[in-house]
Amino acid sequence: MIGTVSRAAQVLKEADHILLLTHRRPDGDTTGSAGALCLALRRMGKQAYIAPNAQITRRYAHLIEPYAPENGFDPAFVISVDCADTGMIPPEMAAYAEHVDLVIDHHRSNTGFGRENLVMGERAACAEIICELTEELGIPLDREIAEGIYVGASTDTGCFKFSNTTSNTHRVAAKCLDAGVDGGEINRALFETKSRARYEIEGMLFSGMQFYHDGKIAVALITREAKRKTGADWDDLDAIAGIPRQIEGVEVGLTLTELEDGDTKVSVRTTKEVDASAICTLVGGGGHIRAAGATLHCPAQEAIVRMLEATERVYRGETA
């Protein structure tokens, strides 16, 4: 851990005119955590807003869009939420990337780019840190704040199924349920509701999946053409990276997505035998032990070759 919860709370008590930043291709943890913290800060009587994220999807929009800055708002204090480095901050927030006053994150690969840094790599979700922070600030955990925390904890642990789930994760979830959160409804919406486009693109993903290293590595590619054909957007692709790892015998699931600018987004999911962050670090990315990612500035086929090489290096015990 870099910094402490008590230090972060002290800094926040002294701050005002606060702007919170979420990361590129926002997920439930960055949006839920930002929304919960923004509400907590407002409960303290502070002016707090969340910067609009151009890539927000309908699944998570309600967690941050109500807190968009008013016209003329000039932040005096900037917080990044769930961002391991400045590269995760969206282009429309780039003006703030080098002037972050407080980093709140749970990525072990965090670069400590803030003036103050609260980084707890042992936490499964940034939302767990937000829960501790609100308690330290003396803000009661009401249903509204708890909803964002629960969404963050649930999404980053795959509905509490991933190996990063800890007893602390369950304690945080229990506090949210005690606050009135409907966990069943949230999880149904997040994990059991799929669009037709999602089902169609999953079919394409399975039919085109390739296997390497005696079946221990599964590679899935989502092409621009597949997205156009199905009408799938980023909301439809949420958590799709976990699918290759579900196949029996697979230890490393590599899911590559062609981006419109020609780059390739890579998501890596692994079992306990392999460190996903070690693989992604070799190609300029990072993340967690079982879930990591990177953006490669090359076509998908070249990206596949590079990712397979990186994965084989990790199997051989080589690191960056």
Q: Render each residue's pLDDT in the chain as its tens digit; 320 residues.
A: 578 999 999 999 999 999 999 999 999 999 999 999 999 999 999 999 999 999 999 999 999 999 999 999 999 999 999 999 999 999 999 999 999 999 999 998 899 999 999 999 999 999 999 999 999 999 999 999 999 999 999 999 999 998 899 999 999 999 999 999 999 999 999 999 889 999 999 999 999 999 999 999 999 999 999 999 999 988 888 889 999 999 999 999 999 999 999 999 999 999 988 999 999 999 999 888 899 999 999 999 999 999 999 999 999 998 76
Both tokens of 185, joined, read 């409804």
Tell the burial category of 316 from Cβ atoms under 10 Å away from its Cβ (0-12, 13-18, 19+): exposed
CATH number of 224's domain: 3.10.310.30
pLDDT at 320: 65
Q: Are 231 and 109 contained in the same domain?
A: no
Q: Are 155 and 246 contained in the same domain?
A: no
Assess if residue 294 is contained within a domain.
yes
Q: Are 24 and 167 contained in the same domain?
A: yes
Q: Are 114 and 233 contained in the same domain?
A: no
Assess if residue 84 is contained within a domain.
yes
CATH number of 20's domain: 3.90.1640.10
Q: Are 204 and 173 contained in the same domain?
A: no
Quote the domain boundaries for residue 97. Answer: 5-191
Q: How many Å apart are CA 206 and CA 226, to the nearest integer?
A: 13
Q: Are 166 and 32 contained in the same domain?
A: yes
Phi-psi region of 128 (alpha: psi -120 to 50; beta: other; left: phi over 0): alpha
Q: Are 179 and 294 contained in the same domain?
A: no
Assess if residue 320 is contained within a domain.
no
Across 94-112, b (16+ Cβ under 10 Å) vs e yields eebbeebbbbbbbbbbbbe
The structural domain count of the chain equals: 2
Helix, strand, coil percentages for the chain (3-state, nearest 5): 45, 15, 40
Q: Are 208 and 250 contained in the same domain?
A: yes
Assess if residue 277 is contained within a domain.
yes
Q: Are 164 and 253 contained in the same domain?
A: no
Assess if residue 152 is contained within a domain.
yes
Assess if residue 41 is contained within a domain.
yes
Q: Among 191, 218, 241, which residue terminates a domain? A: 191
Q: Are 144 and 211 contained in the same domain?
A: no
Q: Are 187 and 201 contained in the same domain?
A: no
Q: For 260, how many CA atoms within 13 A lie in the half-sphere containing its CB?
A: 4
pLDDT at 234: 84
Q: Are 12 and 118 contained in the same domain?
A: yes
Q: Among 176, 191, 206, which residue terminates a domain? A: 191
Q: Among 149, 166, 191, which residue terminates a domain? A: 191
Q: Using alpha carbons, select from 266, 252, 254 the residue that is nearest to residue 298.
A: 266
Assess if residue 175 is contained within a domain.
yes
Assess if residue 232 is contained within a domain.
yes
pLDDT at 71: 93
pLDDT at 1: 54
